[in-house]
């Protein structure tokens, strides 16, 4: 029997003509398909550009409103998102992943991660939330090591990136489509986190310490790629820095936003490389003087000959108070998968109000544990090479900056990472997500059993107590 699959035709008339020709050519006298005369497949799909966005409202679908944080990022709720993708488009996504990272469930290529700058492909999909539809939303898989490792281990609970007007040129009906004021969102899969709390809680701590950081919230995600909705598990929805973070947490969003990645992200002497300071705004302007100046100043010899001048020059290009507070939070809670161990997972924003680069944390699913790759930085950075990580090492060697850092460390354990406050937060969040976390299904979970979840929560509770002790020992020595 001739199979009809999917390719896009110019319009519905073309589909009709092709199908008419097909059946005239293939039918025999008794009006049945002559299977012997058919040897090749014809792939057909009706054009999907002819639709009406009936659920479209100003408040829910346009950029004419402020982002609705109360609706999208509610702290004490678990909400549901449904993603509907045609079978053909889903297969395109899977085929693309196979090309990038090898066979699903087939282990790693050559025993390690694939080094690629290529992102997985976007496809149009429908997104449903509270019985409302968002149309032809750009959906793709996202991540680096978490994405590859999940794929290679045969776990389909992969992180997603949503871009609500990615395909507006193809579908004029969705021009400037937004999700309650948000253009882009990330659905993080809580990779390597059996508590499924780290991404959310770490962001809460940064926010409660008064730092710019993405909002986060818990969502269950269902994906229908042809056979009905499948529960992909409990995710953490994360606000995109280059979308609404710089728009709402700074008074001006016209500054340079960088997502450094690679050796240059260490700011070590001699590592400057424009290609590794990935611009997320002002991409067409070849001006990297702000990050170049930071690298130059932090490594300047006046650090040891004229510390006051060195600090003055550094204060002029980097918001050092923000960085030291960030450093205190990040080191107290322990977060190894970022600056100090890894050359990624942070943003730098040149705040137009101050003309200073401001540090913004990112990607915190590996936080709140000692971690891998030798573990998180010690509170006194004794396990950190100053020349390799000069923003930490050289600033900590300066007595003025060191005193500010230590004051922030005390402030963190007294406030944003207070033991009793965190114990209550862990208890509250664990109760909130328990039924959704422990009901994840094989092939779409990182849990080996439901008991893994509570065990991981208990580990987090023990961790916060141990960090209070560590801080006390550090500050009193």
Give residue for tokens 């965190």. 422
Q: Is the dihedral of CA 17, 19, 22, 23 positive or negative?
A: negative
In angstroms, rounded to a whole number, what is the distance separating the alpha carbons of residues 208 and 413? Answer: 12
Rg (CA), the chain: 26
- If we measure between CA atoms, which residue out of 187, 210, 211, 215 comes closest to residue 200? 215
0.85 exceeded by pTM: yes
- If we measure between CA atoms, which residue out of 453, 455, 461 comes closest to residue 434? 453
Please report, in angstroms and rounded to a whole number, the separation of the first and last CA atoms in the chain.
80
* Mean pLDDT score across all residues of the chain: 91
- Categorize the per-residue pLDDT at 452 as very low, low, confident or very high, splitting at 50, 70 and 90: very high
108 exposed, middle or buried (CB, 10 Å; 0-12, 13-18, 19+)? middle
In angstroms, rounded to a whole number, what is the distance separating the alpha carbons of residues 203 and 235? Answer: 14
Q: For position 109, what pLDDT does the model report? A: 72
* Count of Cβ atoms closer than 10 Å to residue 267 Cβ: 25
How distant, in Å, are the alpha carbons of 46, 201, 210, 288 from that of 426?
Answer: 50, 8, 20, 42
In angstroms, rounded to a whole number, what is the distance separating the alpha carbons of residues 152 and 187? Answer: 19
Give residue for tokens 């600056």. 339
- If we measure between CA atoms, which residue out of 52, 75, 318 comes closest to residue 203? 75
- Phi/psi at 418 (5° precision): -60, 135
Q: For position 111, what pLDDT does the model report? A: 65
pLDDT digits (tens, 9 = 90+) for 90-137: 999 999 999 999 999 998 776 677 777 789 999 999 999 999 999 999
- Phi/psi at 398 (5° precision): -85, 125
Element (H, E) at 325: helix 320-333
Element (H, E) at 247: helix 246-248
- If we measure between CA atoms, which residue out of 137, 143, 102, 104 comes closest to residue 120? 143
pLDDT digits (tens, 9 = 90+) for 351-390: 999 999 999 999 999 999 999 999 999 999 999 999 999 9
For residue 29, give the DSSP letter. Answer: T
Give residue for tokens 């004029």. 172
Structure tokens at 422: 């965190």
Q: Is the dihedral of CA 325, 360, 259, 252 positive or negative?
A: negative
Q: Is residue 31 over pLDDT 70?
A: no
* Count of Cβ atoms closer than 10 Å to residue 305 Cβ: 9
Residues 6 or more apart in contact with residue 112 via CB below 8 angstroms: none
Q: Is residue 2 over pLDDT 50?
A: no
Residues 6 or more apart in contact with residue 427 via CB below 8 angstroms: 461
- Categorize the per-residue pLDDT at 21 as very low, low, confident or very high, splitting at 50, 70 and 90: very low
Number of H helices, E strands in the chain: 15, 13
307 exposed, middle or buried (CB, 10 Å; 0-12, 13-18, 19+)? middle
- Categorize the per-residue pLDDT at 16 as very low, low, confident or very high, splitting at 50, 70 and 90: very low
Q: For position 107, what pLDDT does the model report? A: 86
29 exposed, middle or buried (CB, 10 Å; 0-12, 13-18, 19+)? exposed
Q: For position 108, what pLDDT does the model report? A: 77
Q: Is residue 42 over pLDDT 70?
A: no
pLDDT digits (tens, 9 = 90+) for 200-259: 999 999 999 999 999 999 999 999 999 999 999 999 999 999 999 999 999 999 999 999
Q: Is residue 35 over pLDDT 90?
A: no
Q: For position 110, what pLDDT does the model report? A: 65
In angstroms, rounded to a whole number, what is the distance separating the alpha carbons of residues 453 and 444? Answer: 15
Judge whether 445 and 436 are in contact, CB under 8 Å: no
41 exposed, middle or buried (CB, 10 Å; 0-12, 13-18, 19+)? exposed
Q: What is the mean pLDDT of residues 415-433?
A: 98
- Categorize the per-residue pLDDT at 9 as very low, low, confident or very high, splitting at 50, 70 and 90: very low
Helix axes 451-475, 419-437, angle to 10 degrees: 160
Which pairing describes strands 257-260 and 346-351: parallel, antiparallel, or unpaired?
Answer: antiparallel
In angstroms, rounded to a whole number, what is the distance separating the alpha carbons of residues 219 and 186? Answer: 11
Structure tokens at 230: 């499948």
The C-alpha angle 237, 238, 240, rounded to 5 degrees, equals 140
């Amino acid at each position: 029997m001739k199979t009809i699959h999917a390719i896009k035709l110019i319009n519905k008339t073309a589909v009709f003509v092709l199908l008419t020709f097909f059946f005239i050519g293939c039918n025999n006298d008794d009006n049945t398909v002559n299977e012997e005369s058919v040897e090749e497949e014809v792939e057909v799909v009706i054009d999907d550009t002819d639709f009406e966005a009936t659920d479209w409202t100003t408040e829910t679908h346009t950029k004419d409103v402020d982002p609705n944080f109360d609706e999208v990022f509610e702290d004490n709720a678990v909400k549901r998102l449904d993603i509907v993708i045609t079978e053909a488009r889903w297969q395109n996504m899977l085929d693309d992943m196979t090309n990038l990272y090898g066979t699903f469930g087939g282990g790693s290529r050559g025993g390690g991660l694939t080094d690629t700058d290529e992102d997985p492909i976007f496809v149009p999909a429908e997104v449903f939330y509270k019985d409302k539809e968002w149309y032809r939303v750009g959906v793709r898989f996202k991540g680096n090591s978490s994405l590859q490792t999940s794929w290679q281990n045969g776990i389909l609970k992969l992180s997603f990136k949503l871009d609500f007007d990615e395909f507006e040129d193809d579908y004029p009906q969705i021009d400037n489509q937004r999700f309650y004021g948000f253009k882009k969102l990330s659905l993080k899969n809580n990779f390597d986190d059996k508590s499924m709390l780290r991404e959310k809680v770490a962001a809460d701590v940064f926010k409660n310490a008064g730092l710019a950081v993405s909002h986060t919230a818990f969502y269950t995600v269902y994906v229908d790629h042809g056979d009905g909705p499948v529960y992909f598990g409990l995710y953490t929805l994360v606000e995109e820095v280059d979308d609404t973070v710089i728009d709402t947490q700074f008074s001006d969003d016209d500054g340079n936003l960088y997502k450094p990645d690679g050796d240059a992200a260490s700011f070590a002497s001699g590592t400057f490389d424009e290609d590794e300071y990935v611009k997320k705004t002002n991409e067409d302007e070849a001006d990297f003087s702000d990050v170049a100046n930071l690298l130059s100043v932090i490594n300047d010899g006046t650090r040891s000959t004229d510390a006051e001048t060195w600090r003055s020059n550094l204060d002029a290009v980097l918001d050092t108070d923000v960085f030291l507070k960030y450093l205190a939070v990040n080191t107290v809670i322990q977060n190894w998968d970022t600056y100090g161990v890894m050359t990624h997972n942070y943003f730098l924003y040149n705040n137009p109000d101050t003309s200073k680069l401001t540090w913004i944390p990112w990607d915190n699913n590996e936080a709140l544990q000692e971690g891998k790759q030798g573990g998180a930085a010690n509170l006194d950075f004794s396990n950190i090479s100053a020349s390799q990580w000069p923003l930490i090492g050289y600033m900590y060697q300066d007595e003025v900056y060191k005193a500010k850092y230590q004051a922030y460390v005390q402030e963190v354990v007294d406030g944003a990472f207070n033991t009793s406050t965190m114990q209550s937060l862990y208890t509250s969040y664990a109760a909130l997500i328990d039924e959704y976390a422990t009901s994840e299904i094989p092939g779409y979970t990182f849990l080996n059993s439901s008991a893994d979840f509570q065990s991981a929560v208990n580990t987090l509770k023990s961790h916060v107590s141990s960090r209070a002790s560590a801080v006390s020992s550090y500050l009193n020595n």
